[in-house]
Amino acid sequence: MITVEMLEKIRQEHRPMLEERLLKEDKVVIKDDEIVLKGDYYKKQYRIALKNCGIVDPGDIRDYIAMDGYRALAKILRGKQPEDVIEDMKASNLRGRGGAGFPTGRKWEQSFKQASDKKYFICNADEGDPGAFMDRSILENDPHAVLEGMTIGGYAVGSNQGFIYVRAEYPTAVKSLKKAIEQAKEYGLLGENILGTGFNFDIELRLGSGAFVCGEGTALMESIEGKRGMPRKKPPRTSHVGLWQKPTILNNVETLANVPVIMNKGVDWFRSIGTEKSPGTKVFALVGKVANSGLVEVPMGTTLREIIYDIGGGVQDGKVLKAVQTGGPSGGCIPASLIDTPVDFESLSKIGSIMGSGGMVVMDENTCMVDIARFFLEFTVDESCGKCTPCRIGNKRMLEILTKMTNGTAEEREIEELKELAEIIEDTSLCGLGQTSPNPVLSTIRYFYNEYEAHVVDKICPSGVCKSLLRYNITDNCIGCRRCVKECPAHCITGKVKEVHVIDQDKCIKCGSCYDVCPKNAIKIG
């Protein structure tokens, strides 16, 4: 076991060696005692949760200590009461980065005030959004930040037992966490009598089985208890009655990674970043039709335009931006006309989207918004636990309507029926999964109503994505080479050599073979 003094000695001895190694690798810039990654991609980023990713060796606790790791924990255990820690968290207004945005300090206070012989502290690392890898990056590259944040939280609320619920599909993250827990215990920074202060706190891993619904807090707790992961009715809040009916705090990975930094640098420093109502930074997984995809951490209030163009390098292949989807499969689709919207909880909510855990999908001019709504809803239907009727049945009915639209068999009245059904599901579902599942539908109807009309009334897909609505036509540019005739598997193209050919639309299977082989681009899609 090490003391606080020994901790500081490791920091002073190891920091120069860490800096020397990083400078030799030519991957960082050191300025004002700050170590930041080199490259244009990072210039406009402000890294708090990701500050150590790509810098420290996750398998060496000394690297983390050299970057001020466990300094916050030592300071708190030696000089602050739990109430003081909670007041600092409340003053920082750190809001949960898992999606709901509930103030972390208020959540901790609720649990602290509960009289109980046992309290639990859980890290939700069950990152299930398609295309999201924010938590994964922190767990794999900076696991000690999560352990320190949890231990501080455990001290604040009066808990001595923590759990990290992590996806089994993240084997590298699991390995990294196991190693970090082992090292923290070896150094006396986890377990019994931490840093000789008399405070006990242990952390165990629990592996999730890939169920998206287990990202919901109460479903996650059911899973830890060995039951099927299904949401509970609320109230009571989990801070009052949670895991094994005891007061329980649940924070996600990114939230906890912020805690040690806030405690080290102070509330005022943290509040100086971001906006008044949403201070600090947010990590996004920038993916889709964007030139530079990857993790992006920026101050709250940064506009979508800055993220996509200044950091992401704009839309791929020089195409036109059509929409941005934020918040994962339950998020809304934001049109290009609103890309100057600041990214914070309130601003995104006003335009029909959500922050979510931080997914950000860029879509170009060739994206069909009706098909996008269908795609995300298909995911939600597959991942629904089936406990409540609105989500179990309602989302299936919405998916059926959307499928009819993309197949060209829907009727005009079904657009309004779809909207009405989405609003009912939003209002009556049991948990957050069902309550937010209509967002892709409602937002695309709101901003791209013309595409719904095109699919339903005109029976065309303006983006040329929905196969059943495609129509291949041969223009007068046809030279009668007969290459299309030879390639057509349906034998639906007729015409003589050196004469304009014709496609029998009733026989055409929309495979696109003719389009691909035409040497004169004489076949158009309409």
Domain ranges across the chain: 4-11+46-270, 281-364, 369-458, 470-525
- pLDDT at position 94, please? 97
What is the Cα–Cα distance from 505 to 383, expressed in whole angstroms? Answer: 38
Quote the crossing angle between the two packed helices 143-157 and 171-186, to the nearest 10°.
60
Per residue in 225-263, pLDDT (tens digit) is 999 999 999 889 999 999 999 999 999 999 999 999 999
Q: What is the CB neighbour count within 10 angstroms for residue 441?
A: 30
Per residue in 37-72, pLDDT (tens digit) is 998 899 889 999 999 999 999 999 999 999 999 999
Say what the pTM is: 0.91
Architecture per CATH, 4-11+46-270? 3-Layer(aba) Sandwich (3.40)
* Sign of CA pseudo-dihedral 170, 313, 340, 352: negative
- pLDDT at position 2, please? 85
Res. 329: pLDDT tops 90: no
Q: What Rg do the C-alpha atoms of the chain give, in angstroms?
A: 27
What residues have CB less than 8 Å from 27, skipping those under 6 apart? 37, 38, 54
Nearest to 433 by CA among 156, 134, 229, 198: 229
Res. 526: pLDDT tops 80: no
What is the Cα–Cα distance from 256 to 244, expressed in whole angstroms? Answer: 23
- pLDDT at position 33, please? 82
Q: Which CATH number fits domain 369-458: 3.90.1150.10, 3.30.479.30, 1.20.1440.230, 3.60.20.10?
A: 1.20.1440.230
CATH class of 281-364: alpha beta
- Host H or E run for residue 437: none
Q: At 390, is the pLDDT very low, low, confident or very high (cuts 50, 70, 90)? A: very high
- Host H or E run for residue 166: strand 161-167
Res. 445: pLDDT tops 90: yes
CATH code linked to domain 470-525: 3.30.70.20
Per residue in 116-132, pLDDT (tens digit) is 999 999 999 998 887 78
